[in-house]
Structure 1
Amino acid sequence: MLDILQIPVLTDNYIYLLHDPVSGETAVVDPALAQPVLNVLDEKGWRLTYILNTHHHWDHVGGNLKLKQKTGCQIIAAQADRERIPGIDRGVSENDIISLGQHQTKVIATPGHTSAHIVYHFAKDGALFCGDTLFVMGCGRLFEGTSEQMWTSLQKLKALPSATQIYCTHEYTQANGQFALSVEPDNKYTQKKMLEVAQLRLMNQSTVPSTIGEERATNPFFREDSLSIQKKLGLEGQSSVSVFTELRKRKDSF
């Protein structure tokens, strides 16, 4: 099995360490800071092999150069972001495969939050490292891409197997769930999920990961075809992209 460790940093970021116990290879996803990663590597006796970046924002790449300097690891990120992500050794694009020991991850292009955002899908391990494209009951703001691009990106993720665990990089769940209930107040799955989330946060515990199946049931950005949501927005029978666009607009000012 792939060992997956979550490292909380900054106010609400998560860094992920992935370790293949057979080969000893280790990757880190979106290291905002280097020192917390180095501390865990030292504690576990692991050596860092790769950095996997999803996009160029500082709170996802801030630790790149120090980690590379300290460990000699290879930095993998979108080829299209080569000018914006520090230290890239290998530029990748949609459908490229990266091996971590016996485990393989496929790159999925998910423009929207940024123009060159990518995610990493470990199909056999049932794990998706989705950066700021998909959150628990939410999705990323559209800083560089269009609504159409983000909707298309989310459709790719929505189509993954239901049991796929989603490892997003921010603890935004409570606020996202409050918005989800504001546009679909009768959703019993979201109501139940929010009770569970409240308990976890009271104990200062992470609400991540979720699963694709849970997101299909609770995440309004996966549910633009919900008649309840469409009625709430006054957009019955409108296109999925139109409903998504209005949802994102409302979330921005929620």
Structure 2
Amino acid sequence: MRVEFNACNLEVYRVTSITPIPALDSNYFWVIRPDINTPEVYLVDPGDAAPLITYLRQHQLVPVAILVTHRHRDHIGGIDELLRHWSIPVYGPESPAIPQITHKLKGGDKLFFAKMPLDVIAVPGHTTEHIAYYMPAREDANEPALFCGDALFAAGCGRMFDGPADVMWASLCRLAALPNATRIYCAHEYTLANLRFACAVEPDNLDIKQRHDQVSALRATNSITLPSSIALEKRTNPFLRCQEAGVKRFIEQQNGHHIESDAEVFALLRKAKDNW
């Protein structure tokens, strides 16, 4: 099912629904409704309160918690205003930049919300404290879901503000090890730009070319390109393919010497994307 960017349509996992709220320059805030028969919802990375408040009131929904992945302003900027309207807990990583956190989380923690268990995965690299939320498959939800902020993007990954590269590479490997059916709800609409870079890295990869054409058509109608999946990312995301011969060849040609480790390939690939 295609989720339109222009209207915040629902993608329904039978009972659970996950709605993108487009905001700011390229962000998506995610509204998780574990049971479509009740109005309770969870808000992921609310960087701006206004579009969320509008959506919640239009659909008569009630937020019961906020989930934060990391400290950047476009992920936390709406928390204070939301808390003025609803007195609800805020879950997220420990960081001086997020004083609103009421429940501090770290990798390995588990949350047991009603009808929505979540595993917390540490994914440092974009920022030191970055975490992701993993929703395992349920009887009424065939595919598991991942809310990964800026750690992993569709066909890309976040910049390394708090490196080093081997730490972020390990974080991405952790996510790549999730079930292939896992649907990825990242925080930005960067897919087309990421795929243009991926085409340059692996020009002979037919999966990348096909995805580029599909995403180009979606963006031509201003449609959302998410969610992705772990399986699709492993076929088309160069940052999850640093062990592949084509990606290594691209980096070695760019740098003029043989490269031994996958982590070094990742480091140089991220640098190449930064300067693309």
Q: Deviations over 1:58-111 (max 9, x none)?
A: 0000001111120111111112x1x11141111011111123321111100000
Tell me the equivalent position of 1:128.
146
2:154 and 2:226 in contact (8 A); partners too = yes
Tell me the equivalent position of 2:98.
85
1:39 Cα shift? Answer: 1.1
Q: Which moved more, 1:234-243 or 1:192-201?
A: 234-243
Q: Which moved more, 1:217-226 or 1:230-239?
A: 230-239
Whether 2:68 is the aligned partner of 1:46: answer: no
**Aligned-residue CA RMSD (Å):** 1.2
Return the TM-score normalized by structure 1. 0.96
Whether 2:267 is the aligned partner of 1:245: answer: yes
Letter in 1 for 2:247: I
Q: Deviations over 1:26-66 (max 9, x none)?
A: 11000011111111111221111111000000000000111
Whether 2:230 is the aligned partner of 1:212: answer: yes
Whether 2:24 is the aligned partner of 1:7: answer: no
CA distance in 1, matches of 2:158, 2:177: 18
**Secondary structure class of the residue paired with 2:225:** coil
Tell me the equivalent position of 2:40.
25
Tell me the equivalent position of 1:100.
113
1:236 Cα shift? Answer: 5.4
CA distance in 1, matches of 2:191, 2:229: 13
**Secondary structure class of the residue paired with 1:17:** strand
Return the TM-score normalized by structure 2. 0.89
Q: 1:55 to 1:102 in 2, by over 3 A?
A: same
Percent identical among aligned pairs is: 39
Runs of 4+ aligned structure 1 residues displaced above 4 Å come to: none
Aligned match of 2:175 in 133, 157, 162? 157
Letter in 1 for 2:241: R
Structure 2: runs of 5 or more not aligned: 1-14
**Secondary structure class of the residue paired with 1:143:** coil
CA distance in 2, matches of 1:86, 1:63: 13
Aligned match of 1:74 in 89, 114, 132? 89
Letter in 2 for 1:14: Y
CA distance in 1, matches of 2:82, 2:163: 30
Q: Deviations over 1:106-137 (max 9, x none)?
A: 10000000010000000125100000000000
Structure 1: runs of 5 or more not aligned: none
1:24 Cα shift? Answer: 4.2
